[in-house]
Structure 1
């Protein structure tokens, strides 16, 4: 009799397993039905009902110390790190600047997910276009996604290019400090002195490098803060070109941005390409090698006064950017304006200061008055927040 019962139990055991699996699955689905974010294999998918971006100002908020969730990566673990932004490697001991999280007043930033971003960018090209602050942001993005990519992903430090074969994704930085053509267009050899020449109505030379991009992130501001500049009509390599030295004003900036906007209007596939423009990364004007004040030297805490404004940022120039973008939208070209100026201005503690590589000096011999870099940003740091916001926009698009 016992044998018969045992055989009967064995007979119905597979059916019991199937029924149990169905119950567990049903309970899981019920438990997750209320969530508006679905997580599958580490991939975050934002549903259409998620109106976070349209209803929240990511750029208005405060810095909160958070040594549990931040930094988002370790400087020494990022193999794509650039020495100019590796402040810990260059001798900085106080690393609390890495532990501050940007908290918008009305919402939370989505947690960065490299797998989700790479999946979103599958078969696409993302290009940062601008100066060394654009490269600063590009390096940040590479460090953010590196844990999610195979170790043999193809990279080229000279051409500032990363290619992830598994996703057919290219993430690149294109050096173009004025967006228009200038005599500072060599990505490796460009002096930061004040004797600069620009062709402020010529952009085609640079534009051919961006034309097939799916995501474009532009920035141009810091190189416009010199007292004077030489304008060029004609070619840089032609003897009959016309040169005129002028005091720098917002007018030259406006003409250059008009050249940029006209190129976008007629050359970019507005149904394919997502365009972003980063507002000015702030600094105080001064006489260091970088054209900034050395005010960030020995600064160890953020500024918590929400009315603070860095004096090196010209509001008139920002208004020109905003006006140019508005006119572009009227002509059918959508550009997302990433207004990171105010949130970045609070973080004087997060610049490299003297903690960057100097070939001919020991750290103890570097004078802050001349060499403190209060323009760029340590990594991990503020550009990671820029990229978290960028990530939110890309994932929603």
Structure 2
């Protein structure tokens, strides 16, 4: 499969350190020891004592309908307005990275906080997140987010949501920019951690300040940073993708060079980024499958999600204040193809587990459309405090990849 010049131009807009987007954390219940039906029914009971008159909420009055339909597709739907307040704010949670703390940084509009995901199948309403229920589900378990800076964005969102019920202790932090961290909710003996691994496999990252002008990836070798920790982890969430649009050299089995991507200064064969991404997912899923195919563990692969720059990266903008509606924009080729690859590789891994008579759970969490419809949920210029305090300036940098907290990422 080839990539056109326009697609390459689109890909190069993305910054090395600004990557990946959203995973609906509340849906992890789908893959743990409690069923979706039980979770929704439990949440509904909790909501009955605090129910509001908000008629636009897709949860109210519909939960009972799932009794005869335990398998739900949450990936296709639309965003509907709600009056439900966020569970936390920019000052109540200490975990929010400053660049995603849009409220504290002075974002003037708040409408982006009041949208709720409504699945197309009205028999499967998305439940409101309940921190105490979720903590009960992960009691004595360890969830690890493995990937790039959006894996960290996702991790921080989950910590903020759970902190509304139980205060965690930060028991470990390491690496530049807090790339490796671990919290424990002692009341539940529940652990939540993040592992920086933007490629999932062994590699050397591009760093022009050190004279490293391209990524070097070994597509058949898992990154030992997470692979050596797998025995401690019960629920793995892989989330990566955007780093694959950078200049890179790829090596395969036996450290044989396979080719390169966008590295014209190097004399090597072009190697398609889709092939590289597929191979990385296959390597990572093989690693967990061969080690845990007969274990009561769960592996979740989040599908590729959307950035929303209008114009060039960094100094382009994302100033919309409402979600897109169906048909407002066309799904980009790159994101759509990466989504398909993730779903296909998960299906392949599920088949492998079945052939080994195993019971390891491997799931694709398809959030591509859900994020595609939320151009209003990024920090934009509010990745810095009060960017327009001294008037409108030209060239204000924007973040149209990561997500405001609170915001759509909490879904």
TM-score, scaled to structure 2: 0.71
Aligned counterpart, 1:337: 364
| Structural mapping, 1:21-100, within 5 Å | 37=41, 50=67, 52-54=69-71, 56-66=72-82, 68-100=83-115
Determine helix, strand or coil for the equivalent of 1:201: strand
1:335–1:363 Cα change, 3 Å: farther
Q: Which residue of 1 aligns with 2:234?
A: 214
How far apart are residue 222 of structure 1 and its match? Answer: 1.2
1:265-317 deviation line (CA, Å, top 9, x unaligned):
2122543111111111212576424xxx8241x21111112563442743222
Aligned-pair CA distance for 1:59: 1.8
The aligned residue for residue 131 of structure 1 is 148
Q: Which structure 2 segments of 5+ residues have no match?
A: 1-39, 49-62, 263-271, 354-359
Q: State the match for 1:116 in structure 2.
A: 133
Distance 1:213 1:363 in 2: 45
1:161 Cα offset (Å): 1.3
- On the 8 A contact 2:245/2:273 being kept in 1, the answer is no
Partner of 2:403: 377
- 8 A Cα contact 1:133 1:281, kept in partner: no
Shift of 1:104: 1.5
Q: Does the Cα contact within 8 Å between 1:281 and 1:341 map onto a contact in 2?
A: yes
Tell me if 1:271 matches 2:308.
no
Task: Report if the CA contact (8 A) 1:352-1:372 is conserved.
Answer: yes
Which residue is 1:148 aligned to? Answer: 165
Residues 195-227 of structure 1, C-alpha deviations (whole Å, 9 max, x = no match): 22212211051311233311111111111123x
Larger radius of gyration: 1
Contact map agreement 1:127 1:210 (CA 8 A) in 2: no
Structure 1 unaligned runs (5+)?
Answer: 1-35, 386-397
1:347 matched to 2:369 = no
1:384 Cα deviation from its structure 2 partner = 0.8
C-alpha RMSD of matched pairs (Å): 3.6
**More RCO (CA 8 Å, sep 6+):** 2
1:20 is aligned to none
- SS of residue matched to 2:316: coil
Q: Is 2:378–2:402's contact at 8 Å kept on the other side of the alignment?
A: yes
Cα distance in structure 1, aligned partners of 2:222 and 2:251? 13
TM norm structure 1: 0.73
What number of residue pairs does the alignment pair up? 332
Once the two structures are superposed, residues 148-182 of structure 1 have per-residue CA deviations (whole angstroms, 9 ceiling, x without a partner) of 114x6345453321111121111011111111122
List per-residue Cα deviations over 1:59-108 (Å, max 9, x = no partner): 22111121x21323222211222112101112211121111111112132
Contact 2:205 2:214 in 1 (8 A): no
Corresponding residue for 2:11?
none
Contact conserved, 1:288 with 1:370, CA < 8 A, in 2?
A: no
